[in-house]
Structure 1
Amino acid sequence: MQPAKRVAVNTGILYAKMGITVFISLYATRLILAALGAEDYGIFNVVGGAIAMLTFLNIAMASASQRFMSYAQGEGDEQKQKYIFNVSVSLHFLVAIAVFLLLQVAGYFLFNGILEIPEERMDVAKLLYQFMLVSTFFTIVSVPYDAVINAHENMLLVAILGIIESVSKLAIAIYITYTAFDKLLTFGILMVSLPILLLVLRSIYCHRKYEEVELAPRKYYNRRLFKEMTSFASWKLLSSTASIVAMQGITIILNSFFGVIVNAAQGVANQVSGQLMAFSNTMLKALNPVIVKSEGEKNRTQMLKASMTGNKISFFLLSFFAIPVLIEMSFILNFWLKDVPDFAIVFCRLSLINAGIDQLTVTFSTAIGATGRIKKVSFWNSMVYIALLPASYLAFKLGASPEAIYVNLIGMTVVLSILRVLFTYHLCGLELGQFTSDLLVPCLSTTLATAIIAYTPTFFLDAGLVRLVVVVILNVLTFLTLLFLIGLKDEEKKLITSVYQAVVTRLRNKN
């Protein structure tokens, strides 16, 4: 199957999964916030938020292992994949021990003077943290299995596990609504146990399905490969850790200046942006292995083409859904949640703008990683991430309001995007003029024009369901029209048309 059609099929599978999981997740969040209340939900976002933080670390580390797996598949070297898997297992076992010990030390300082948590809930918060550490260890150890699944582009398994996860979260949300036990502690324990169960299922499947998944670290040890993967993973881990420290750091800074209620608003913003970004992230999950395999095949032209197209489609997918949500954020949050935390509306809007900027260059990170030359870009990315913390602390010391944190985030994302473009230019041969004319101009002009037209109903209609429907209809009609007039190049239109025809033909043949 051609790369473009393979990406389309895998994306279709993941979208089918997402169609099931998005609404389940949003409804589960509504139940959880209602059951816990704003204060306990804020506490979980501060302490249990480290779970989400380490999930991000897990994804980043999996991408490092996946790079070597996908590259070896592009080379057609099956034996090398066994060495890569076993070296990856050994490497991540050592990382898991180091992270576990580091977080134990960090926990002492967090709960002794840094976190602002009500005294009566402190013991529960500490227990949550310990459960999270156990979950973290197993999550990191199981990273090589995620890498194998992604390298094989087995999106059907990803979809099935995603549905199991969402249904389980809904069951947890319903359970804590009616349980007589401490709701926050119960919620934390169950949420920490879920990823362990899912990772066990992944490992069992991989051992039965894939030949390269043969756990024999001594037999398949290769010193040169271990050194190469350690170097790559270390630099990848540096930038990922800096990102995690920055994201969790701003949560702690918000907590220390404004308390757990503002953290609840931050949690809602993370949920909204996370669900909307799922549309573009789903496509990227299917595309990233193709980018790395193209580099493994020494096809730099196809690799850059896939990266540029991935940026554009990722941005358009997010924008299509984000525009009406940005316009009608107040109505949507009040309809979705019983009690909307203070600052949630402005946090959600700024978070989506930040996400949109990030999507314009998001696949360039994969392209740079595919070359294996990530030392400099990882260093500079880390510096930018860490700079966010003193900038935000200083802003609040000078009297800035809570939304300043997202203004700083947007500034950080702009700088990171510029770095991605420059390094893709130097390492991969990206043409800057082509990037501007083929990506920036069509993406920004299509989105801004659509947003202006979709916003017009707010001048003559009161907020409500009718106005939301009108905004959505205007957004769909305007966006799709402008997308085909100025957003897509002729070859991209032909690609979409051919994929659509292939799907229709397959459906007709089945019927």
Structure 2
Amino acid sequence: MSAVNRVIKNTGILYVRMGVTVFISLYSTRLILGALGVEDFGIFNVVAGAISMLTFLNNAMATATQRFMSYAEGAGDLSKSKNIYNVSVVLHLLIAILVFVLLEGAGHFLFDGILKISPERLFAARWVFQCMIVSTLFTIISVPDDAVLNAHENMLAFAVISTIDALFKLSIALFISYATPYDKLMTYGFLSALSAIILLIIRRVYCHRKYTETRINFKQHFDKKLFQQMYSFGGWSFFGASSSMISNYGQSILLNSFFGTKVNAAQGVANQVSGQLGAFASTMQKALNPMIAKSEGAGNRQLMLKATMTGSRISFFLLLFFFIPTLIEMPYIFDLWLKNVPEFAVIFCRLLLVRNLVDQLFYNLNSAISAEGNIKKFQIFEAILWLIPVIVSYFLFVQGYGPTTIYFLFIVYSVTAGLNKLYFSKLNLGLSFRTFANDVIIRCICSFVTVAVISVIPVYFLPASLFRLVVVIVLSSISFFLTLLIFGLKKDEKSLIFNYLKKFSS
């Protein structure tokens, strides 16, 4: 099977999974918000947010390990794959210990004056924090297995595990809504951690039985030189991811400190919507990233750059398809979805979706830079850029600016960070600015403007209603596909799509 066919097959598998999990997750959020109430939902998001921000850390470390795994796969070296896995297990055990110490230390500061939580809910908040720490440690330890699944492009296993995860979340939401006799916030924290642990055990057992390189034998397969290489690469990835984690959680802390837990509830709703809709694009990236790393490992830089630019454009279009009607009809959608819509939830979510679209233009450049391996200077610049919006927001909040300020600043950050990625892609990979601008930026921005202008027309002639929502969706879908055919896709991509449609229909 060719690399392109593999990407298409894996993307298809992951989209079937998305069709199941997105609606389950969004419905679960509705149940949880209703069961906990705005204040407890805000508490969970600001406390568990400290842990959920470690997703950035986990993804970065998984990317680092996957880069070495995929590189070895591309070179066809099974012995090196075994060494990489064993080294990564040791590396992530050390990281888990470090993170545990840091989180326990940070907890004392968070709950002794930084977070604004009512005294009667402080014990429950501390309990949730401890539950999330346990979940985080298991997540970090499981990174090598996650990297193996990605390196082997086993998206079916990933899809099954993700579906089980969504069903767990739905079961927990139903349980705390209708069955639990205990404190709902504490029960939710405990069961969330327990489900994460169960899923990670499932992943570990599956990988151990499926792939020979996952056998742990430190005496035979621990390579000190490889450990130093992975430590160096992973250390800089850790540095960049830690900055993003601090920045994102700093956003939650600032909003909580200046505006209280109700604004954190709005932030949690916005993050949930953004995460679920954005998963449609990240799904394709998950299928594409192994191809980028393997192409570089096989010495095919041209294919790697082509895959990077094509992936950036296609993933942007996938977001665009869902984001445009959501951006336009968000107030009505939120009223349908939630029993009690937190203040600022709509504006937060709109700004976050715009930021995600900007990020998407440059997102795959991260994978390309990581595949090449020279990431030290890139990560230093990334870390500096991550922290600027939080620092500036603090001073603006002191001056009396509103909570939306930080979201506007992060949009500016996304543009600046994208240019930084583009610069290092030129420096390290030889990527042409003009080629990237013509193939990705111009096509994507023109598509966005065209579809948005056409789709917003019904707003000026029809009142907010289910009928108008349907009209916007239909108009957006038609204009989206026409825009792609006219100037969104390149000629060879159109031919590839038409050929697959013919095969599917025959």
Class of the TM-score when normalised by the shorter of the 2 chains: over 0.9
What amino acid is the match of 2:233? F
1:501 is displaced (CA, Å) by 3.6
Say whether residues 1:149 and 2:149 are aligned partners: yes
1:404 aligned residue? 405
Matches within 5 A, 1:79-98: 79-98=79-98
2:267 aligned residue? 266
Could you tell me the TM-score, scaled by structure 1's length? 0.98
Tell me if the contact between 2:348 and 2:404 (Cα under 8 Å) persists in the aligned partners.
Answer: yes
What amino acid is the match of 1:187? Y
Partners in 2 of 1:402 and 1:471 — Cα distance? 29
1:504 is displaced (CA, Å) by 4.2
What amino acid is the match of 1:251? S
Residue 199 of structure 2: SS of its match in structure 1? helix
1:495 is displaced (CA, Å) by 2.0
Could you tell me the TM-score, scaled by structure 2's length? 0.99
2:32 aligned residue? 32
Say whether residues 1:13 and 2:16 are aligned partners: no
Partners in 2 of 1:497 and 1:301 — Cα distance? 25
Tell me if the contact between 1:5 and 1:499 (Cα under 8 Å) persists in the aligned partners.
Answer: no
Say whether residues 1:138 and 2:154 are aligned partners: no
Partners in 2 of 1:71 and 1:500 — Cα distance? 32
What amino acid is the match of 2:72? A
Say whether residues 1:164 and 2:164 are aligned partners: yes
1:50 is displaced (CA, Å) by 2.5
Per-residue Cα deviation, 1:419-438 (whole angstroms, up to 9, x for no partner): 01111111111111111111
Partners in 2 of 1:257 and 1:504 — Cα distance? 57
1:283 is displaced (CA, Å) by 0.4
Matches within 5 A, 1:231-242: 231-242=232-243
1:51 is displaced (CA, Å) by 3.1
Tell me if the contact between 2:86 and 2:216 (Cα under 8 Å) persists in the aligned partners.
Answer: yes
Partners in 2 of 1:197 and 1:37 — Cα distance? 27
Per-residue Cα deviation, 1:88-128 (whole angstroms, up to 9, x for no partner): 00001001001100111111100111000010000111111
Per-residue Cα deviation, 1:256-294 (whole angstroms, up to 9, x for no partner): 000000000000100111111011000000000000000
Tell me if the contact between 2:56 and 2:244 (Cα under 8 Å) persists in the aligned partners.
Answer: no
1:59 aligned residue? 59
Residue 117 of structure 1: SS of its match in structure 2? coil
What amino acid is the match of 1:476? S
1:463 aligned residue? 464
Matches within 5 A, 1:174-185: 174-178=174-178, 179-185=180-186
1:487 is displaced (CA, Å) by 0.5
Per-residue Cα deviation, 1:424-482 (whole angstroms, up to 9, x for no partner): 11111111111111111111111111100100001110001010011001101111001
1:508 aligned residue? none
Per-residue Cα deviation, 1:149-180 (whole angstroms, up to 9, x for no partner): 11000000011001100011000000000222
Matches within 5 A, 1:244-263: 244-263=245-264
Partners in 1 of 2:54 and 2:432 — Cα distance? 35
Per-residue Cα deviation, 1:314-364 (whole angstroms, up to 9, x for no partner): 100001110000000100001100110000010010000000000001100
1:432 aligned residue? 433
1:111 aligned residue? 111
1:502 is displaced (CA, Å) by 4.1
Tell me if the contact between 2:390 and 2:406 (Cα under 8 Å) persists in the aligned partners.
Answer: no
1:499 is displaced (CA, Å) by 3.2
Partners in 2 of 1:159 and 1:268 — Cα distance? 24
Residue 350 of structure 1: SS of its match in structure 2? helix
Tell me if the contact between 2:335 and 2:341 (Cα under 8 Å) persists in the aligned partners.
Answer: yes
1:380 aligned residue? 381
What amino acid is the match of 1:128? V
1:286 aligned residue? 287
Of 51-60 and 382-391, more deviation after overlay is shown by 51-60
Tell me if the contact between 1:8 and 1:499 (Cα under 8 Å) persists in the aligned partners.
Answer: no
1:73 aligned residue? 73
Residue 212 of structure 2: SS of its match in structure 1? coil
1:509 aligned residue? none
1:208 is displaced (CA, Å) by 0.5
Per-residue Cα deviation, 1:16-57 (whole angstroms, up to 9, x for no partner): 011011111111000000000000000000101223212332
Residue 361 of structure 1: SS of its match in structure 2? helix
Partners in 2 of 1:7 and 1:277 — Cα distance? 18
- What number of residue pairs does the alignment pair up? 505
What amino acid is the match of 1:369? S
Partners in 2 of 1:497 and 1:171 — Cα distance? 41
1:306 aligned residue? 307
1:173 aligned residue? 173
